[in-house]
Amino acid sequence: MKAQRLVFPEANKCEMETFDIPDQLEAGRVLLKNVVSLVSPGTELALFCGTHRALPVPENKWAKYPFRPGYAAIGEVQADAGNLKKGDRVMHWGPHATYATPTVAEVTLVPKEMDVEIAPFLRMLQISMTTIRLAPLKVGERVLVIGQGIVGNFAAQLYNQCGAMDVIAAEQSKGRIAKAKACGITTIFNTTNKTLAELFAETKTPAPELVVEAIGLASTITEALKVVARRGRVVLLGSPRKVQEFDPYFDIHAKGTILIGAHGAHYDAAQMAADVPLLWKWLHTEKIKVRPMITHRINQQQALTIYPNLRDNPEEYMGVIIKY
């Protein structure tokens, strides 16, 4: 059977390619017809633009061209496999494609009551949940989340759910600030014209004990280290884009700062699986809000132009759902 998927043959180029689905699958695999998938405006965009830190590193075999983007898809089971029944809907980490053949162990059953457009956001919510598991909140702490893309927005919502005294978001994009407010994030610092240090001083806001950097820029990582409270924690949730310098004496050593790398690989697999029912519940009941972040619903052919739009129009493009 023939199927189609998106591919980046090189930086700043997106194409559609045809690939074969075998008539007889390997034991333990399941055939899925994808219903929707969610574009990641962070990792996927970095790979499209050629700015992902791992691209020039020979040892990293994953981030290489040709690259097939996508890791948050909802597919419909086409034939019984393992504990899955024909017609079940499951989330999987496959690329933007018409069909997928993951192993049964690699998929997560979607509750029947779950809106299919909301369901793929579980994957992005799991990425944000990495911060909760690696930097759990202490009673009465103040939290700053730098960047209000999907992952940063979710991180701010999660820390609100976990009982932070205050959660402050920092963002420059007016569009993303509006979406953060619509998701219930009430305190937002607009960093267009002022640094975070200036904003904290101007508003006389106490320094946050926990800072989550959800962008991956050298400048915002440096700002995170500057504004965190003494003996506070800085979490690098956004994948850093390049090698950088900072002041290890004043910003880490003298302040007693703990710097935490929150790559998803460090989210314990058993804990991730245990968290899924709660995350589904929060998504379904809208304790964690998604709808304000959905900006576009497109078909697969339109997806060929979506990455330049994500790159060039961040005010307008954020949560992009591909429908098959």
Three-state DSSP class for 156?
helix
Which pLDDT belongs to residue 301?
Answer: 87
- Please state, in angstroms and rounded to a whole number, the distance separating the CA atoms of residues 125 and 142: 21
Q: Mark whether 110 and 216 lie in a shared domain.
A: no
In a domain, 148, yes or no: yes
| pLDDT(289) > 90 | yes
Total number of domains constituting the chain: 2
Whichever domain contains 306, its CATH number is: 3.90.180.10
In a domain, 277, yes or no: no
| pLDDT(253) > 90 | yes
This prediction's pTM: 0.96
Q: Mark whether 131 and 257 lie in a shared domain.
A: yes
Return the number of other C-beta atoms located less than 10 Å from residue 319's C-beta.
Answer: 23
Q: What Å distances lie between residue 252 and 10, 48, 247, 249, 262, CA to CA?
A: 38, 34, 7, 6, 18
Cβ contacts of residue 316 below 8 Å, gap of 6+? 175, 295, 309
Cβ contacts of residue 66 below 8 Å, gap of 6+? 7, 8, 9, 10
Query: Per-residue pLDDT tens for 160-177?
Result: 999 999 999 999 999 999
Query: Per-residue pLDDT tens for 125-147?
Result: 999 999 999 999 998 899 999 99
Residue 180, beta-bridge partner list: none
| pLDDT(295) > 90 | yes
What number of CA atoms fall less than 13 Å from residue 41's CA on the CB side?
30
> Rounded to the nearest 5°, which phi and psi values hold at 91?
-95, 140
Name the average pLDDT for the chain.
Answer: 96
- Please state, in angstroms and rounded to a whole number, the distance separating the CA atoms of residues 49 and 320: 17
In a domain, 214, yes or no: yes
Give the chain's radius of gyration (CA, Å).
Answer: 20
Query: Per-residue pLDDT tens for 44-64?
Result: 999 999 999 999 999 999 999
In a domain, 284, yes or no: no
Tell me the mean pLDDT in the region 271-299: 97
In a domain, 280, yes or no: no
- Please state, in angstroms and rounded to a whole number, the distance separating the CA atoms of residues 260 and 212: 9
Q: Mark whether 104 and 148 lie in a shared domain.
A: no
* Nearest one of 143, 126, 9, 119 to 64, comparing CA atoms: 9
Q: Confidence band (pLDDT; 50, 70, 90) for 68?
A: very high
Tell me the mean pLDDT in the region 251-271: 95
Tell me the mean pLDDT in the region 284-306: 95
Which pLDDT belongs to residue 133?
Answer: 97
In a domain, 21, yes or no: yes
Can you point out the beta strands (E) in 25-133?
Answer: 32-39, 73-77, 89-92, 99-100, 108-109
Helix axes 121-134, 150-161, angle to 10 degrees: 60
- DSSP output for 233-268: EEEE-SPP-S-----HIIIIITTT-EEEE--GGGS-
Q: Mark whether 261 and 159 lie in a shared domain.
A: yes
In a domain, 279, yes or no: no
For residue 95, give its domain range.
Answer: 2-118+290-323
In a domain, 271, yes or no: no
